Structure 1
């Protein structure tokens, strides 16, 4: 049962709204009153909203100063996201996370030219994301639709929004192939598609998005090999491809990921030996290769990973003994090498 625990945060462009005589202020107030009419507010948190207010900055849940912006918990809003928000032309940040809102997302929402952040996570929204949503994205920098019931394919037009830096579509029912042009958005820094129904091979051309810091494709149905182009993401800090159907060996280009802290490939069908170049990923703190079909001896180069804290290689087919060089991993705490064909003791 979904928690009826909500948040509402509306952040406007303060310099514009500070001018109390600006006629747009009343338009914004009226837009919020129309928005209020389309939803249910069981706890009465919006009861003070009044069309006679001369500024939206006075309304509960609305902030006009970025320095004091905060999220108001416990609004428990339900209903649909109505047309009222489309009148808020100076809206900079929209957060309706952790409510029980239903219905779909409007194409017109992306047309608010000053809107930079959309957070609709943890609701009961459904339907598809309009195909042209990202072709009219204005100055949108971050969008989170996580933990909803959205379905259909992720639009190829996602890469048409040049300002977009963060995309979180996790825990939905998106299906089909990952758009082939998804890596061509040069501003993209974080991509989270965890827990959906995406399938097929990961598209090539990863080297096109060289600002990417985080990839999370965990718990989907991706097949095939990791594209060689992954080595082009020189700024990558975190890679999570776990719980998919990926196979083959690890591409040699991965050794270029010198800044990567976390690499999670758990529960796939990777095979062969773990290459010696794994020791070149000097920033690794977490390495999870468990539940695959890796075999042979674990590489001696593991001793180069001085920052390594977590290592899980369980449920593979590793043979021989663990390398003595592991004693150089002074920060290593949990080590799980169970359910392999290893001999000897853990180096100490």
Structure 2
């Protein structure tokens, strides 16, 4: 025996020798996957009618092989995919720790065989067509750290057993058909850092137990029918970097405790009710890159200290009750590229310094006046509709028609020229329906050369903003079903918006009119297809002459499915020679199915004809 072995066998080195021996023995022994896990995995994939890609792992033999145990391989390298850990419990047995099945159009329920995968820390089965409940046995997977079941059609109440997943840091249940309230037991997940419950179907108040979630960094909770006041305790989540509320039934005010959220980078609180708020709570949020408080009952003035927020790129304070002048400090924020202040009561003129970084501006429906500063050029995408700007020979040609869309709509005022409008939204001229096929951009307007009608569009992508968005939609599926007398060709194209879409009739004779709006959902897939792309919901409000005539209008629901035509007609009274049809997205519906920007108003055609005022009718 050599000297090295003698040293290892000494009393002080015996334990080290045993460790080395066991290490060499283990690495010379074939590693095998736990038999119960193999059986469960095979059963699951048989039920789901799927199998691994070639070269990934062997479903019929040894699953913990290939990329499943390759430390350099990512879970995203294959789909479906698993990862294994063969170092657990000091044995030669491998255990499945990660399972991902993403966007494979799998239909079925979540099988109970999952319980056998007791070592799972990562479960990702999103963007499929799983139905039925989220089963209570999920709570038995006690090692789970990451759970994503979003963009399926799961239903029923959320199981309280989710509260048993004490290691969970990530939970995504978005875009499903759940019912009931959020289980208070979720508040026991004190390691939770990210939660996505948007468009999940849950409703009711946010449980008081959520005060325990002090490690929360990201929370998305829009389009959920949440009620009650925004909890004050969220202001104690001092690790929070992203918070999104919108399209709920939450009440203001926004808690003053939010001033403690100094790490916030993205804040979106929209569509609040009852009690208004000032902007005082943002005074310490100097790390903001994205701030949207659209339609959130914000009043008071815009504080000049926002000009010191050197990371701010998007600022949306539209559809509020802000007053006073626009601080010139806003235009000194170097990275700011998107600025939305439309539909407030702001007054005064625009600051004269050059906004070199601004690319998108919405100041529509304020009381701004005076002439345009030199930095307002055609290089900037902007909407200045509904103000009191002065037009003369120096600027009227640069923004054709904007003078017609100032307050009181002066073009053809008192000298009406028209009594009928028909528009083929998103399409070419068709019979008596005029063409409306210009992609006008996310924040813009267009007035037809005849000054007969106009369009105003305002919006930006709800998820982040700053991405291009096409305002026209073309039917790429089966032909639209239409059992009415309206020509089916009108439903093959649409104009869409990711915020606020207005059509204006200009120079109309005063009197009663019938307004007919034609709709067909041509973006989503048919729900009978049982594909995740069919799970989108489009919800928006319809206003005529400033009065809401339909809340939460859903084209597919009203028409009985996608690619089915429907016409809704309303009465209107024109008294000052102009008519306004407003389609407004109030934060409801799914945001990103089948892709980003698949939400908001969509219309196929419209017609305005003189006629006796009547009650709302449908044809």
* TM tier, smaller: 0.7 to 0.9
CA distance in 2, matches of 1:246, 1:117: 37
Give the secondary-structure state (helix, strand or coil) at the position aligned to 2:64: helix
TM-score under structure 2 length normalisation: 0.48
Contact 1:218 1:241 in 2 (8 A): yes
In structure 2, distance between residues paired with 1:138 and 1:74:
28
Give the alignment of 1:209-224 within 5 angstroms: 209-224=237-252
1:76 aligns with 2:90: no
Tell me, yes or no, if the aligned pair for 1:79 and 1:102 is still in contact at 8 Å: yes
Unaligned runs of 5+ in 2: 1-25, 80-101, 376-619
Residue aligning to 1:301? 329
C-alpha contact (below 8 Å) 1:206/1:230 kept by paired residues: yes
**How far, CA to CA, are the matches of 1:251 and 1:74 in structure 2?**
41
Counterpart among 120, 132, 155 of residue 126 in structure 1: 155
Secondary structure of the residue aligned to 1:159 is helix
Asked which structure has the greater CA Rg, the reply is 2
- Give secondary structure in 1 for the equivalent of 2:171: strand
Distance 1:40 1:311 in 2: 47
The answer as to 2:207 corresponding to 1:202 is no
Answer yes or no: is the 8 Å Cα contact 2:137–2:161 preserved in 1.
Answer: no
1:339 equivalent in alignment to 2:365: yes
Aligned counterparts of 2:170 and 2:29: Cα–Cα separation in 1: 28
Deviation at 1:244, TM superposition (A): 3.2
Gaps in structure 1 of 5+ consecutive residues = 1-15
Moved more, 315-324 or 143-152: 315-324
Aligned residues: 322
Query: Structure 1 length normalisation: TM-score?
Result: 0.83
Rate the CA distance shift 1:78–1:344 in 2: closer, same or farther, 3 A: same
| Range with greater deviation from structure 2 (243-252 or 329-338) | 243-252
**Alignment map for 1:1-348 (pairs within 5 Å):** 20-21=30-31, 25-36=34-45, 39-41=47-49, 44-45=50-51, 53=61, 55-58=62-65, 63-65=68-70, 67-70=73-76, 72=79, 75-134=104-163, 136-245=164-273, 247-324=275-352, 327=354, 329-347=355-373, 348=375
Q: Structure 1 residues 201, 346: closer, same or farther in 2, change over 3 A?
A: farther
Q: Cα distance, 1:299 vs. partner?
A: 2.5
Contact 1:235-1:259 within 8 A present in 2 as well: yes
Give per-residue Cα distances to partners, 1:65-100, cap 9 Å, x unaligned.
464211525532111101111110122211111111
The Cα shift of 1:283 comes to 2.0
Cα distance in 1, alignment partners of residues 151 and 58 from structure 2: 28
Residues 125-134 or 44-53, more deviating: 44-53
Corresponding residue of 1:6:
none
| Structure-2 separation of matches of 1:246 and 1:283 | 32
Name the SS for the 1:343 alignment partner: strand
Cα 1:346/1:140, change in 2 over 3 Å: farther
